[in-house]
A and B are shown apart, each in its own frame.
Chain A
């Protein structure tokens, strides 16, 4: 029995709002401390994206602890925040489910779950990013020339750059932008022997070909004239198992957000309705009627 109460206390401690506030305050301090190293030593942090967190820890992370300690602390704080969020949300969900009959309708009960759906979604997103940083495989520095192909061994496929369209600034308002590239569209063809896909790759517009995603990192030439450069694109190819988790997390978070807004809307309408009802209810008239009836 004692052990049960002890566990209950621990459960209550991890779900307490004060703990959330302490963690968030510490995160703010930690991020402020991280501003300096992040600004002055960007070369230490950029490789996390392609080499994965564990390899990064063994190399950049542990060898430059003066500059990277804040990130380790941040990861620890995020883990604490995740536990806190999970326990807190689960506690509240439990209470809501227990009192579900007190809601006017089943629908309103479901809507009331919206903040918790958002919290769980956030945790799924965190998990996705964790999986991504721990388990993603990245091919760096792959260069494609127009009309040429590259082959990947894992997963086995061929990527061909059919053509590359570069848009250069045409306006007159910004002279320093003259002849500079503002957009690039790379027409790719991907083939793994069984499937074929044609797609257009651009900045913020990666191409997905399960299980890989192809991201545009750079292209040339970025200016017309001047130092002449050959046409090429520099791509990063990722095999990221975490993307399914953080994508679904984002989806459910958005769903939760809409449900939350819907619930607020219903509340507002109900409040207005009650106010109107109160306005229409005039006890004086009844009194007057009573008086006249006398």
Chain B
């Protein structure tokens, strides 16, 4: 009998050990996600990205497409075992960038004015003063539309790295001797990855100190949101997305937006949807979830027709069925919102204040506009 009990006892003991060590993670731990303290300069996983200090002043990074690059100080001999296109000399001096968030992160690191040489938005679409100024002075060049950039112009800019989401340009960029860094991932960035993305970009410019300061600012704002909304009485249901001509796009539950809504003591109606940012879902699901939502964040800006609830409904009659359009609140991003990644702390606070206005008396939104029922008569 004792012989039979022995293996069972070992099994039970190990089972308890396994469960204790791996299975039990508190909510706070979950918020910590996969990123270690920024004080710790060891290996760091940031969503689909990673930063791995491999030797003194040498950092190996993995971009959103899983490609590895090694960052080494200028003048040093390239390490063995890497292809030439994997070597990036730091600090990088010339950058071309596709995404507004990438440009905003360059601003947060304090290098935008010195390094940015090319963008894929026209001058009139930019709200970041440094970019507008740079374009006026000819330091920053409009490379062409995101889907058909002018490679001759890009070559003339002589970028050392190109920050992009478009993988189709990798062969051309590598041909011109620059490194093509993919800054998006196949799944949407979670809140923590969004906050830590700066730590992925910082080693290219030796700006780890600035990255830490940025992260601390955002982290403090999250702590403040958690504390402020802890005792919120209501838990409004929030939806984020829009209906286009033939497609319905939303922010999935794994995206930073979905996580923030949950963190601010409210309910995100697409929390069960998993995948990439701006993920496509069925019209039925969108309308069903919209039946009891109270707050609706649309992707559309006033420029693309989001001037009032009535204007939205006119553009797409289906959307008129959503509860927020009948008796809830609809918010539209202001033009500078997508280019304000350097003020992520303020954006997070803004969203929390929209969800729980009673917790933030007197707060005036800086990044979103509440849509009136009707357009003012001119």
Interface residues of chain A, those whose CB is within 8 Å of chain B, are 18-19, 22, 25-26, 29-30, 32-34, 36-37, 40-44, 46-47, 50, 58-60, 63-64, 66-67, 69-70, 73, 140-141, 143-145, 148, 150, 153, 175-176, 178-179, 218, 220, 223, 225-232, 234
Question: What residue of chain A has the Cβ atom nearest to residue B65's Cβ?
Answer: A141
Verify A175–B283 contact, CB threshold 8 A.
Answer: yes
Cα of A73 to Cα of B248 in the assembled complex, Å: 43
Cα of A151 to Cα of B118 in the assembled complex, Å: 28
Q: Whole-angstrom distance from the CB of A94 to the nearest CB of chain B?
A: 24
Contacts of B29 in A (CB 8 A): 66
Contacts of A232 in B (CB 8 A): 167-168
Question: What residue of chain A has the Cβ atom nearest to residue B190's Cβ?
Answer: A43
Q: At the interface, yes or no: B233 with Cβ under 8 Å from chain A?
A: no
Interface residues of chain B, those whose CB is within 8 Å of chain A, are 4, 7-8, 10-11, 14-15, 18-19, 21-23, 25, 29-30, 33-34, 36, 42-45, 47-48, 50, 52, 62-63, 65-68, 83, 147, 166-171, 182, 185-187, 244, 246-248, 280-283
Verify B45–A64 contact, CB threshold 8 A.
Answer: yes
Q: Whole-angstrom distance from the CB of A70 to the nearest CB of chain B?
A: 4
Cα of A46 to Cα of B167 in the assembled complex, Å: 19
Verify A60–B43 contact, CB threshold 8 A.
Answer: yes
A47/B66 contact (C-beta < 8 A), A145-B171, A234-B167 known:
yes
Question: What residue of chain A has the Cβ atom nearest to residue B147's Cβ?
Answer: A228
When A and B form their complex, which 7 residue pairs have the shortest distance between CB atoms, in order from nearest? Answer: A141-B67, A230-B168, A29-B15, A232-B168, A33-B23, A141-B65, A70-B22
Cα of A153 to Cα of B84 in the assembled complex, Å: 11
Question: What residue of chain B has the Cβ atom nearest to residue A141's Cβ?
Answer: B67
Cα of A154 to Cα of B281 in the assembled complex, Å: 42
A176/B66 contact (C-beta < 8 A), A30-B18, A228-B147, A234-B167 known:
no
Question: What residue of chain A has the Cβ atom nearest to residue B278's Cβ?
Answer: A227
Verify A69–B42 contact, CB threshold 8 A.
Answer: no
Our pick among B21, B247, B282 for the contact of A69 (Cβ within 8 Å) is B21
Verify A41–B34 contact, CB threshold 8 A.
Answer: yes
Q: Whole-angstrom distance from the CB of B239 to the nearest CB of chain A?
A: 18
Cα of A227 to Cα of B146 in the assembled complex, Å: 10
Q: Whole-angstrom distance from the CB of A26 to the nearest CB of chain B?
A: 6
Chain A to chain B contacts (Cβ below 8 Å), 25 pairs? A22-B7, A22-B11, A33-B21, A34-B22, A36-B22, A36-B23, A41-B34, A43-B47, A46-B66, A47-B50, A47-B62, A58-B43, A59-B45, A59-B52, A67-B22, A69-B22, A73-B18, A140-B65, A143-B171, A145-B171, A175-B282, A176-B280, A228-B147, A230-B169, A231-B168
Q: Whole-angstrom distance from the CB of A184 to the nearest CB of chain B?
A: 14
Contacts of A30 in B (CB 8 A): 18
Our pick among B8, B52, B65, B171 for the contact of A148 (Cβ within 8 Å) is B171
Contacts of A176 in B (CB 8 A): 248, 280-283
A-B pair count, CB < 8 Å, reads 131
Contacts of B34 in A (CB 8 A): 41, 43-44, 64, 67
Verify B10–A22 contact, CB threshold 8 A.
Answer: yes
Q: Whole-angstrom distance from the CB of A51 to the nearest CB of chain B?
A: 8
Contacts of A50 in B (CB 8 A): 66
A220/B67 contact (C-beta < 8 A), A36-B22, A64-B45, A73-B18 known:
no
Cα of A232 to Cα of B186 in the assembled complex, Å: 16
Question: What residue of chain A has the Cβ atom nearest to residue B145's Cβ?
Answer: A228
Cα of A179 to Cα of B167 in the assembled complex, Å: 21
Contacts of A26 in B (CB 8 A): 11, 14-15, 18
Our pick among A22, A44, A148, A230 for the contact of B166 (Cβ within 8 Å) is A230
Verify B168–A143 contact, CB threshold 8 A.
Answer: yes
Our pick among B19, B171, B248 for the contact of A29 (Cβ within 8 Å) is B19
Contacts of B50 in A (CB 8 A): 47, 59-60
Verify A140–B67 contact, CB threshold 8 A.
Answer: yes
Verify B18–A33 contact, CB threshold 8 A.
Answer: yes
Contacts of B83 in A (CB 8 A): 153
Verify B171–A140 contact, CB threshold 8 A.
Answer: no
Cα of A41 to Cα of B62 in the assembled complex, Å: 17
Contacts of A34 in B (CB 8 A): 22
Q: Whole-angstrom distance from the CB of B167 to the nearest CB of chain A?
A: 5
Contacts of A67 in B (CB 8 A): 22, 34
Contacts of B244 in A (CB 8 A): 226
A41/B33 contact (C-beta < 8 A), A59-B43, A153-B83 known:
yes
Contacts of B21 in A (CB 8 A): 33, 66, 69-70
Verify A32–B168 contact, CB threshold 8 A.
Answer: no
Verify A25–B11 contact, CB threshold 8 A.
Answer: yes
Verify A63–B22 contact, CB threshold 8 A.
Answer: no
Cα of A232 to Cα of B247 in the assembled complex, Å: 23
Contacts of A41 in B (CB 8 A): 33-34
Inter-chain pairs besides A176-B283, A218-B186, 15 sampled, C-beta below 8 Å = A22-B7, A22-B8, A22-B10, A25-B15, A29-B11, A32-B19, A33-B19, A36-B25, A41-B33, A43-B34, A63-B43, A63-B45, A69-B22, A141-B63, A143-B167
